[in-house]
């Protein structure tokens, strides 16, 4: 059977009310594009506030000025102490004030760094309100609409159709003859004998004793989306693979010839 390469039920990482859905059934959407968004007024306001707090530099500047002053004062006190013009207490007090100013400046810089992290967190929380598609594909279903509340339910289903995946069930006799990277011709229903080239990517390591078969997965390039997913197909492997009769593949048979 020819199937989408991957299918996901796209959901929101956080609960909320859907504000907009930008795609509908059968629409194409590129990887990273916005598929839907949640109401995010509070998160927008949080980002504005966090950005304003992160831009505050006055505390650093004030404490930098104080440190410069206390350094000069300490130098003067050291000189006076060398001349025995002041007591040791005044000298040590000047040293203490300089050290305190140094740590106040460091504290102001630390707080500025924390505010930068708070801004980053606010921006990430805002980004969580925007749902983007993890790969390029088509919308198969829409489960929700604008105005609906979502928590852990999917919003839409998206399928990647380039490449496609060919899920084949082949005779157990061919185990050991098929290798990853081998080529095969794929014949689909309703294509009037037209074939497409696919490549083996996965071979099951366990077979089914009852049917005498094992599974093989191939990838089928589909850049123009001409090949339809969800249809039955026949496979013909490249030279070097022994001929084998057509084998059933369960409810949706994929055959080998």
Q: DSSP string of 196-210? A: EEEEEEEE-SS-BTT
Q: Examine the domain organization and report whether 123 and 138 are in the same domain.
A: no
Least trusted range by pLDDT, from 58-62, 124-128, 151-155, 185-189: 185-189
Q: Is the pLDDT score of 171 beyond 60?
A: yes
Q: Examine the domain organization and report whether 103 and 143 are in the same domain.
A: no
Q: Examine the domain organization and report whether 134 and 35 are in the same domain.
A: yes
Q: Examine the domain organization and report whether 196 and 233 are in the same domain.
A: yes
Pairing assessment for the beta strands 233-237 and 254-256 based on DSSP bridges: parallel
Q: Examine the domain organization and report whether 220 and 101 are in the same domain.
A: no
Structure confidence at residue 242 (pLDDT): 55
* 5-56 pLDDT tens trace: 999 999 999 999 999 999 999 999 999 999 999 999 999 999 999 999 999 9
Least trusted range by pLDDT, from 103-112, 135-144, 193-202: 193-202
What's the number of domains the chain is made of? 3
CA distances from 9 to 32, 43, 174, 177 (A): 15, 25, 35, 37
Q: Examine the domain organization and report whether 135 and 26 are in the same domain.
A: yes
Higher pLDDT, 181 or 252: 181
Structure confidence at residue 168 (pLDDT): 92
Distance of alpha carbon 193 from alpha carbon 191, whole angstroms: 6
Structure confidence at residue 246 (pLDDT): 34
What share of the chain in percent tops pLDDT 70? Answer: 93
Q: 């924390």: which residue's tokens?
A: 114
Q: Examine the domain organization and report whether 116 and 141 are in the same domain.
A: no
Q: Examine the domain organization and report whether 188 and 133 are in the same domain.
A: no
Q: Examine the domain organization and report whether 173 and 245 are in the same domain.
A: yes
Q: Is the pLDDT score of 175 beyond 50?
A: yes
At 19, which CATH number? 2.40.50.100
CB atoms under 10 Å from CB of 205, counted, come to 8
Please count the residues of the chain.
257
Residue 228, phi then psi, degrees to nearest 5:
-85, 135
* 75-103 pLDDT tens trace: 999 999 999 999 999 999 999 999 999 99
Averaged confidence pLDDT in the chain: 91
Q: Examine the domain organization and report whether 135 and 122 are in the same domain.
A: no
Torsional sign, CA 152, 155, 161, 166: positive
What is the model's pTM?
0.77
Q: Examine the domain organization and report whether 150 and 23 are in the same domain.
A: yes
* 179-234 pLDDT tens trace: 999 999 999 887 777 899 999 999 998 888 899 999 999 999 999 999 999 998 89
The distance in angstroms from the start CA to the end CA of the chain is 14
Domain span at 152: 2-39+129-157
> Edge-to-edge strands of the sheet including 34-38?
130-132, 34-38, 16-21, 149-150
* 232-247 pLDDT tens trace: 889 898 766 654 433 3
Within 8 A by CB and 6+ apart from 112, the residues are: 54, 56, 57, 59, 60
Q: Examine the domain organization and report whether 168 and 247 are in the same domain.
A: yes
């Amino acid at each position: 059977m020819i199937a989408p390469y991957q299918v996901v039920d796209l959901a929101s990482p956080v609960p909320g009310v859907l504000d907009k859905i930008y795609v509908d059934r059968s629409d194409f959407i590129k990887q990273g594009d916005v598929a839907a968004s949640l109401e995010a007024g509070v998160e927008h306001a949080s980002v504005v506030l966090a950005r304003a707090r992160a831009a505050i530099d006055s505390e650093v500047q004030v404490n930098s000025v104080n440190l410069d002053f206390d350094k000069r004062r300490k130098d003067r006190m050291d000189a006076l102490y060398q001349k025995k013009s002041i007591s040791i207490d005044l000298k040590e007090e000047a040293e203490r004030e300089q050290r305190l100013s140094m740590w106040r400046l460091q504290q102001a810089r630390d707080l500025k760094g924390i505010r930068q992290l708070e801004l980053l967190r606010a921006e990430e929380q805002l980004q969580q309100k925007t749902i983007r598609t993890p790969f390029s594909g088509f919308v198969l279903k829409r489960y929700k609409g604008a105005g609906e509340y979502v928590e852990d339910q999917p919003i839409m289903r998206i399928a990647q159709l380039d490449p496609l995946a060919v899920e084949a069930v082949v005779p157990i006799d061919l185990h050991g003859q098929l290798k990853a990277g081998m080529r095969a011709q794929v014949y689909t229903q309703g294509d009037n004998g037209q074939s497409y080239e696919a490549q083996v990517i996965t071979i099951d390591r366990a077979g089914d004793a009852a049917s005498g078969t094992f599974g093989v997965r191939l990838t089928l390039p589909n850049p123009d989306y001409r090949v339809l997913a969800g249809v039955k197909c026949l496979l013909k492997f490249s030279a070097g693979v022994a001929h084998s009769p057509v084998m059933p593949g369960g409810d949706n048979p994929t055959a080998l010839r």
